[in-house]
Amino acid sequence: MIEVGVIGVGLLGPGLASWADGRALLHDPAAWQRSPTAVPAPQRLPATERRRAGTLVKASIAVADEALAMAGLDPAPLATVFTSSTGDPLNCHLLCEALAAPERLVSPTRFTNSVHNAPAGYWHIAAASRAPSTSLAAFDASFGAGLLEAAVQCATTAAAVLLVACDLPYPEPLHAVRPVADLFALALVLAPAGQGRALALQLGPPAPAMACEAPGLETLRQTIPAARALPLLHALAGGGAAALGLEAAPGLALRLHLGAR
Amino acid sequence: MKPLAVTDYTVVSALGVGRAATLAALQAGRSGLAKQDFETAAVDTWLGVVADIDAVALSGDLAEFDCRNNRLAELGLRADDFAASVRAAAARWGPARVGVFLGTSTSGILATEIAYRERDPATGALPAWLHYGATQNTYAVARYVRQALALQGPAYVVSTACSSSAKVFAAAARMVELGIVDAAVVGGVDSLCMTTLYGFKSLELVSSDICRPWDARRVGLSLGEGAAFALLERDPKRVAAWLLGAGESSDAHHMSSPHPDGAGAAAAMRAGLSQAGLAPADVDYLNLHGTGTPGNDAAEDVAVRSVFGTTLACSSTKGHTGHTLGAAGGVEAAITILALQHRFIPAGLNVREIDPALQVNYLRQPREQALRVAASNSFGFGGSNACLLFGTAT
């Protein structure tokens, strides 16, 4: 059992403009209406990096900033975990297209942005943070794997950790082989147990309540890897204690117990 | 951190398949690099190709995983009978208590690059043979290893460019410390592809000459490919080496260039020493990141000097293997453990004249020497730094 506390939340998704806006909608989904995710411009990025950053980076920074503001923390000393199933899908498509052409002309920025840890790199530049950072992937379980890693880091270092998850669609033709419905991003700031909303994590047999009750949100959960976080976000939006679960790796359940507010 | 046992390990690179072939090449000062083309790429460069990949085929239940990166992973699992050690660990601890944490930078992207050349001219669709989730997706190599070895514990792929497979040692050590797992398969697999060949070329970081880390007229890196695996276990029955520390940091400077003062890299080395409870003078050998680009080697020299001074014996083994990118951390961890076990320090190859601006104690000839502690640096794009420290088993 790993015990931590949630002290900050950031959110961006279809019909969910922010955690401030989305928490009421998640608490009472009848008022939620699906609309395409809109990504705000990242004010934190220096001009050069803002010009070069793709949508994955911009969305990741937007949710990280919201979660940090809620936690009231300085980003510089904060270790980070970034998780994404796909990385930057448009960048990947354009790179593969360029490499399939006879000239194979690749732009340096396109190549630099192709690394899976691009959001982490841009974030640590923007936050002037030399703290450790990891970037990982576990296909549809990427959020669960990232949550496990962030909680393990928080518990072993006894310091707060910023977790950022983001997935967005590939363009065709990759969309046909890896359909992702829309952009979904969230950030959590985890702190050592005793601070914020208590969260206990345990690997174990198949967990209860992995689905969303509201059909529209359940569709999001099933069609965007990062939206696997929705049952946890729903529980965070309410005030009561909750037991729920998600996948920590494909086929491996992570049981979560969220304390009452 | 509490020292964590490396109970078995293996490595595959252009030097050969397994520990013995790698050791022989390192002790002889022989490079695996050759001026050659790869697939349809003609980039006029030296490459560290693993020729044995072509003899591996993935079939049966694992057929959908078939691609260069997973074939290379399979070659690594077979080398030194590493898979048998993992099966023994799974029998001892239970398959749900063995984690899989692997690093890669480009996974099986070569499969998708080839598929993009075979798109349907009418619809633009990709060919039916492409299994995206089992090949291109970043998680694919961990999925492959987990399935091939029938493991059921936590698993993910760390992809932080060229520090990826060093950072997985840190992740696994935390998981063992907290009791989430009792053992972990760590390491990395990265294979040659068009993305990195043409990408590094676009950044003007690829040399048409063989790479010459620490040379006065070094002009860039030589790309390679490799697979390395290590089995980390609590309560070990045998020990190849001890993982003593795994320091991590970020540069906060630039996406593709290291900070010239090396402060982020130095922070990773200091964090590793601090975790190990060691002073700089306790370290006997440092395997440098040492890519052979002008900027990397200059920044790393400043960083190493600021932590260790100029007496510590250092070398980069990328002149042997080429830069294996996401596998480099794992490949060089294996080389560092070979040095500890076989009491030698590998040389840095291809130096004609040491850069007079670089001041660390860079070894140009292999040296026989008993080592107690050896370290390995890995730095990646996005300013991701890691430094692993290993101690001898005895």
pLDDT tens-place string over residues B310-339: 999 999 999 999 999 999 999 999 999 999
Residue of A nearest to B141 (CA): A138
* Residue among B138, B249, B250 whose CB faces A116 most closely: B138
Q: Note the ipTM here.
A: 0.98
CA distance A36 to chain B (A): 25
What residues does A200 pair with on adjacent strands? A3, A257
Helical ranges in chain A per DSSP H: 19-27, 47-52, 55-71, 89-100, 108-112, 118-126, 142-157, 174-177, 215-223, 230-237
Q: Which residues of B touch A125 (CB under 8 A)?
A: 252-255, 383
Q: Quick one: pLDDT at residue A41?
A: 87
User: How far is CA B102 from each of CA B146, B157, B279, B296, B360, rounded to the nearest angstrom?
Assistant: 10, 5, 29, 24, 31
Indicate if the pLDDT at residue A208 is higher than 70.
no
d(CA A204, CA A142): 17
Identify the residue among B105, B325, B381, B388 best suited for mutation to test binding to A, counting A beta carbons within 10 A and taking the highest.
B381
CA distance B136 to chain A (A): 10
- Rounded to the nearest angstrom, the gap between the alpha carbon of residue B4 and the centroid of all alpha carbons in its chain is 19
Q: Which residues of B touch A86 (CB under 8 A)?
A: 137-138
CA distance B320 to chain A (A): 25
Determine the residue type at B335. I
d(CA B260, CA A7): 36
A·B CB contacts under 8 A: 204
Given a cut of 50, the residues of chain B with pLDDT beneath it are none
Determine the residue type at B67. C
Residue of A nearest to B101 (CA): A136
CB contact under 8 A, A137 and B132: no
User: In the structure, what pLDDT confidence band is assigned to residue A209 with cuts at 50, 70 and 90?
Assistant: low
d(CA B206, CA B41): 13
C-beta of residue B168 within 8 angstroms of C-beta of residue B176: no
d(CA A48, CA B270): 31
Nearest 10 degrees: CA dihedral of B14, B20, B25, B27? 150
* Residue among A104, A117, A133 whose CB faces B194 most closely: A104
d(CA B280, CA A221): 49
CB contact under 8 A, A133 and B112: no
Nearest 10 degrees: CA dihedral of B90, B92, B94, B97? -80
Average pLDDT rounded to a whole number, residues A119-140: 97
Count Cβ atoms below 10 Å from residue A209 Cβ, excluding itself.
17
Average pLDDT rounded to a whole number, residues A173-191: 98
Buried b or exposed e, range A73-99, using 16+ CB within 10 angstroms: bebeebbbbbbbbbbbbbbbbbbbebb
Residue of A nearest to B162 (CA): A115
Q: Which residues of B touch A249 (CB under 8 A)?
A: 146, 153-156
Residue of A nearest to B199 (CA): A111
Choosing from B67, B162, B211, B387, which is the catalytic residue?
Answer: B162
Q: What are phi and psi of B4, to 5 degrees?
A: -120, 130
What residues does B377 pair with on adjacent strands? B387
Q: Kindly report the length of chain A.
A: 261
Residue A170 per-residue DSSP state: P
CA distance B160 to chain A (A): 5
d(CA B138, CA B109): 9
CB contact under 8 A, A120 and B252: no
Q: Quick one: pLDDT at residue B329?
A: 98
CA angle A4/A10/A15 to nearest 5° reads: 135
d(CA B144, CA B141): 5
CB contact under 8 A, B381 and A155: no
Q: Which residues of A touch B156 (CB under 8 A)?
A: 136-138, 141-142, 145-146, 149, 249
Residue of B nearest to A117 (CA): B160
d(CA B338, CA B348): 16
Residue of A nearest to B142 (CA): A138
CB contact under 8 A, B174 and A145: no
Q: Which residues of A touch B146 (CB under 8 A)?
A: 249
Q: Which residues of B touch A251 (CB under 8 A)?
A: 152
- Report chain B's terminal Cα–Cα distance, integer Å: 19
Burial class (CB in 10 A: 0-12, 13-18, 19+), A41: exposed
CB contact under 8 A, B180 and A152: yes
Whether B131 is a known active-site residue: answer no
C-beta of residue B9 within 8 angstroms of C-beta of residue B20: no
Model-level pTM?
Answer: 0.98
Average pLDDT rounded to a whole number, residues A184-209: 91
A41: tokens are 């411009």
Choosing from B67, B211, B320, B323, which is the catalytic residue?
Answer: B323
d(CA B292, CA B209): 11
CB contact under 8 A, A104 and B198: yes
Query: pLDDT digits over B345-357, tens only?
Result: 999 999 999 999 9
Whether B320 is a known active-site residue: answer no
CA distance A111 to chain B (A): 5
A189: tokens are 């700031």
B151: tokens are 């493991």
CA distance B268 to chain A (A): 8
Whether B162 is a known active-site residue: answer yes
What residues does B245 pair with on adjacent strands? B389
d(CA B112, CA B131): 9
